[in-house]
Every structure is written in C-alpha cells, then in structure tokens.
Structure 1
Amino acid sequence: MKPMADFDEGGGGDGVVRFTGNLSLASLGTLPERLEAVSGHVGVVDLSSVTRIDTVGAWVVHRFAARHDARIEGLDADGQHLMDQVVAADVPVSRRPAYVAPFRRVLGEIGDAIVISIRTLHGLLGFLGATIIALFAVMRHPQRFRFNAVVQRFEVVGVSALGIIGLMSFLIGIVIAQQGAVQLRQFGAEAFTINLVGRITLRELGVLMTAIMVAGRSGSAFAAQLGTMKLTEEIDAMRTIGVSPMEALVLPRTIAAVLLMPLLGFYASLISIIGGGLLCWLQLDIPPVTYVARLREVVPITDLYVGLIKAPVFGAIIAIAGCFQGMQVESDAEQVGTRTTSAVVQAIFLVIVIDAFFAIFFERIGWL
C-alpha cells in the first residue's frame, strides 16, 4: 500500500515545508484541509521525498505555494513538467468579455475582414499558380494525365446538371419576357421584348446564372470532397506514395469545369430563349417563326462570343475556389461545412466581379 500524502513544517523557523508520500488523488486524504491551517512564513516547498504526484496533487501544492509566495523544489523532470502545466493553467477566467466600444468593435471587425480577404486572395492566386504548374507538368508527361477522372467530372459537372440548369433557364426566360413585355407595353413597344430576351440571355444571364448554379452545385461538391479527403488523410497518403494531389484531384476538376462551362452556358441561353419565345407566343401573339427571325436580326453574333469567352473563365474560378477551400480543411469535420460555404460564396462573388470587368472590357472594344 502506498504511503498517504503528508507534510512537515520543519523546525527552527527555516520556512521549509517538506511533502512526503504519494501526492495523488487517492492518497491525499485530509491534506488540503490541513494545509489551509498552516500559518507563518513559508519560503520553500520541498517535494524531494514525494514518491508520486498527479495533476490534483500538483494543483494542491501549487495553490499552497502561491498562497504563501513560496518556491517549489525537489521535483524530477516529469514532475516539474506537470507542475509547469498546472501553473500555466492557473489563470483567471473572465465570465464576461471585456467591454469594447461599438465603434472600435466595428473597426476591428472590418479590419479582420480585410485581412482575411487579402490572405484568401493571396492563397487563391498561389493555388492558381500551383494548378498551372501541374498542368504544364502533365503536358510534359502525358502519361500522367488522368483521362478517366476528367470524364467522371464531365458527368458530375455537366450531364447531371442539365436538368436543374434547363429548368432554371426556362423559367428565367419566361420571367424576363413577361417583365419586359409589361414595361414595354406602356410605350407600345412590346415587340422589343424579343430584343431584351435574346441579348440579355446570350450576353449575360445565360452564362452568369449557369455559373452561379455550378458554383452552388459543383463548387461546393469539390470543397466537400477534398475537405473530407484531407480529414481522412487520403491526400497525405497520396503524397507519401508519390502521387501529386494537384494532378490527381485538382486538375481533372478544373479541366472539366473549364471545358463544360461554355457548353452549359450556351445550353442555358438556348433554353432561356425558348422560354421567352413561348411566353411571347402565348401572351404577345408573336409566332415562333417571327420570333426566330427577329432574333436573327437584332442579336449580333458578338453577344454569343461574349458569353462563350466568359464561360471558361467562370469555370476556372469555380473549380479553383472549390478545390482551394477543400484543401484548407485542417482539424475537424466542422471545417468541411465552413470551407464548403466559403467556396460557394467566394466563387459567386468572384464570378460577379469578373463579369463586371468583362462588361467594361467588351464595352471598350465596341462589342455592345
């Protein structure tokens, strides 16, 4: 049976308190109460005769030494490490956060948001560079290109999305035509509804709404998939066996998004035009033949070029944002959800920003 914890105040007023025995929870007994009764000067707490000490014993000794402003001596390396941890944990806990003036708090939150945005932009640019390097590496060594992975992403990003994108585009075409007809009827210019539907769907909304849908559908899937693989250490395992995650995971997704976005954008624009044409036929009594002929007259081919040029850029943004956020998952499953949300928000935000730059650019070069 291990000896119970005990202490000796010493003699001669030397201010040394020597602990003996087993300073663990099961052997403390009434030691804490007896220590409370110790009075007088205590300069040193000697633990050289202690056979064992655990966290509870270290806490009792630390509180006794702190109350008497004494130093602790006599512990071996492991005991001293334990005592250091206990001392470091003995900090007051504030139940209520310190008051911060509202103006300073708002400024702090704005500053934090700006710093996070700059770091995220820097990370995205670096990730884009790593993706381009991986692309060049695959071009130099074509045998490393994962054709099956790209084809699988074609199905996930493109084929499986045709239904929801088609339905969304059809309804958007109807809404544009209906709202345009209501407003143009005031001026007796209902026929110009065809101009509105044709130009806005081919030039802007067809590709933009497709990009938003793909960001919410495929960009989030990229982030969740890579984030889960990061948590389960599959990506680390790939690096261990000499497989580049950028080439095996990121590049196929990026290539699929870049190649399929023009097709999806054109498909969405076409379905929107069909939806607008249906409403013009039923509500404005414009027959389909007249509708198509009018479209050919008023919609320049440059509108189609504008949409097809923007689409692959949007696809690259969505894939890069999704894969980047997925690769940032570090500690727990909660980060998978957080990073997935960030991937969708960042992709949609960047798509809209880049679309604004494209609008200014094409206006400058005369593609109106």
Structure 2
Amino acid sequence: MTAMADFQIDGSVLRFSGDVSLAHIGDLPERLNAVDSPIESIDLSSTQRLDTVGAWVIHRFAEQHQARIEGLEPDQEHLMAQVVKADQPVVKPRNELPPFLRVLDEIGEATATALKTLVGLLGFMGATVLAFLNVLRHPSRFRFNATVQRFEVVGVSALGIIGLMSFLIGIVIAQQGAVQLRQFGAEALTINLVGRITLRELGVLMTAIMVAGRSGSAFAAQLGTMKLTEEIDAMRTIGVSPMEALVVPRTLAAVLMMPLLGFYASVIAIIGGGVLCWVSLGIPPVTFVQRLHEVVPITDLYVGLVKAPVFGAIIAIAGCFQGMQVEADAEQVGNRTTSAVVQAIFLVIVLDAFFAVFFTWIGWI
C-alpha cells in the first residue's frame, strides 16, 4: 500500500518518505511552511514516488531554505531539473507605447513586410523567367492545353464584364467632360477627351484592374488550394516543375490576352462616349469617328498596347506568387488571395505612372 507523503527533520537534514505525488501529498505544503528550523539538506532517498507537483513543492522549499537536494534517482533527477528550468519569474508585459510611437512601430513593421514581399516577388519573377527559358529550350514541356484553357478563362470569359464596364466608363467620361467643356463653349472637344484618355490610359488601366480582381485572385486561390492539398508537392515528387506546369501557362495567357482585352475595352469605351455625344450633344456617329481620326494620334494606341502585356505579366506573377506562399490552413488562401489583388492593382498603378513619365520623355504625348 502506498504511504502518504511525509517528512522528518534530523538536525539540519529533512528526510522525505512515502509517495510525494498529487494523490498523496495531503497537507504536506502547509506542514513544510511551518518548518522554521534551518535546513541545509533535503534527502529523497526514502521516497517511493515523485511526480511534478511533488517535485515543485520540494524545489520551492529548497529555494526558501537554500538547501541542497540529495538522494535522487536518475528519473527523479531529470524531473527535478525540468521543474527547476520551468520555475522562472514571469516576464512583465512591455509597457504600452505612446500612440505616436505605436503608429511609427506599425508603419515600420508594414514597411519591413512590404520590402520582404517585394524581394520575394522579384525572386519569383526571376524563377518565372527561368521557367520560360526552360520551356523554350525543351518545347515538349510546354502545356498547350493548359495555356489555351487559361486563354478562355482570362480572355474570352471576361469579354462581357469588361465590355459593360468600358461602355459605362466611356459614357461617364463623355458626360462629365461635356458638362465641364460646355462652360467654355467647347463641347466638341469631348471627342478629344474620350478618344485620347480611353486609348492611352483608362482602357488598359481599368482592364488591368478588372483582370487583377477576376483572374489574379483566381490564380492565387487555385495555387493556394493546391498547396494546401499537397498537389504541388506531389508534382515535385514525380518530377514535374510547378513553375512550368502552373505558372508559365497562366502568365503567358495573361501577357497575350491583356493587349487584346485592352484594345477591346478602349473600343467599347469610345463607342459608349460616341453614344453619349450622339444623344446629348447631337454629334452624329460619322462626325464622331471622323473627328477621332483627326485628333487621336496612333501613338496613343501604341502606348496602350505596350503597357498591356507588362500589366498582364505583373498580375499573373503576383497572383501565382501569393498562391505559392499559402501554408498551414485554409484561412491563408483567403488572405493570400486578397494580398494578390491588392498587390497587383498597386503595382499596375505604379507602373502606369512610370509609363506616363517615360512616354512623355520620349515624346509620345
């Protein structure tokens, strides 16, 4: 039968006996607190069993009396060492920062995260370029069916929503431009406004934003789900490169379809502006088209067509990059999808500003 935990004092030595465990410890802690004689050594050679609670009680008593613990078996010695290691003072929580410093701390943390993401995106872009080169060197690796399917998803399926959006944007630009120009008796210049701003800027830019929200998010969600279900790891195991099989077809589809979608969006926006000019300003379609031919230089079309494939590449790479970063749980799929859309739209706008300065510098204005 297991004996209750007990102790006796022999001079400056305190000897434990019985089962020093939670089930048999009884009032041992209270009796130890009542010990007021000096104790130099604690002998555990007579104990039958020692668990974590008992070891903690003995350790605390030894700490209070500056006594050494003796008579431990190897397992008991290891347990006592773990208890001593765990018995550390609680670290006080750091003082709350003032509001101004807290804002600076959050800005710094966000900046560090943005820089880390930018470095990762540049590395992923380099990996995508290498994958393209590998596919060019080994054409048999090219996934033709997957690329054609991406053409349909990125391009053909988006014609309806992009067309509606562009038509309405053309109407809004023409209406707002006509209202402002009417104050100066220059309503006819609405044609200039609609033609140049849609071909040069808004047609491609709004298409890129729509593709980022539609296709970029889909790329991130698809690759993120494949990462969670370990399909990408399985592809690597059987010797298939995920960059060549998944990223290259999506990037190629976005790069090739963006110029077509951008041109299509610009034409539909001009049609929307022409309808508004016909209904509101009384400008016939024939006159509208003739005036467009006179005032819109061909360089405006070139500007839109040059920017479009770059925007497509950025959207596809950002979506695939964020999808490849998914780990741990399904919640990250949603977070990474959101990050892909935000990142793609931000980079598209930044690049659009760069292109505006560049084309002005070379004289395409």
TM-score bucket (shorter structure):
0.7 to 0.9
For 1:254, give the aligned amino acid: T
1:277 match: 274
* 8 Å contact from structure 2 (residues 17, 44) kept in 1: yes
1:208 pairs with one of 194, 205, 209: 205
Shift of 1:51: 4.6
2:218 pairs with one of 215, 218, 221: 221
Shift of 1:8: 3.2
Q: Distance in 2 between matches of 1:240 and 1:82?
A: 46
Q: Distance in 2 between matches of 1:271 and 1:20?
A: 91
Shift of 1:91: 5.3
Q: Deviations over 1:311-350 (max 9, x none)?
A: 1101111111111111112222222222222111111111
Q: Distance in 1 between matches of 2:353 and 2:198?
A: 16
1:84 pairs with one of 65, 82, 89: 82
Q: Distance in 2 between matches of 1:245 and 1:44?
A: 66
Shift of 1:68: 5.6
SS of 1:8 mapped into structure 2: strand
Q: Distance in 1 between matches of 2:295 and 2:162?
A: 25
1:260 match: 257
Task: Give the TM-score normalised by the residue count of structure 2.
Answer: 0.88
Q: Distance in 1 between matches of 2:39 and 2:215?
A: 68
Provide the aligned length of Structure 1 versus Structure 2: 363
2:228 pairs with one of 216, 227, 231: 231
1:186 match: 183
Q: 1:85 to 1:10 in 2, by over 3 A?
A: closer
Q: 1:60 to 1:240 in 2, by over 3 A?
A: farther
1:313 pairs with one of 291, 297, 310: 310
RMSD: 2.9
Q: 1:352 to 1:91 in 2, by over 3 A?
A: farther
For 1:204, give the aligned amino acid: E
SS of 1:187 mapped into structure 2: coil
| Identity score, percent | 71
Map 1:1-368 onto structure 2 (within 5 A).
3=2, 6-8=5-7, 11-14=10-13, 18=16, 21=19, 23=21, 49=47, 51=49, 53=51, 74=72, 76=74, 80=78, 84=82, 87-88=85-86, 92=90, 98-368=95-365
Q: Distance in 2 between matches of 1:81 and 1:316?
A: 59
* 8 Å contact from structure 2 (residues 5, 26) kept in 1: no
Q: Which structure: larger Rg? A: 2
* 8 Å contact from structure 2 (residues 19, 25) kept in 1: no
* 8 Å contact from structure 2 (residues 59, 80) kept in 1: no
* 8 Å contact from structure 1 (residues 4, 29) kept in 2: no
User: Structure 2: where are the runs of 5+ without partners?
Assistant: none
For 1:362, give the aligned amino acid: F
Q: Distance in 1 between matches of 2:316 and 2:279?
A: 40
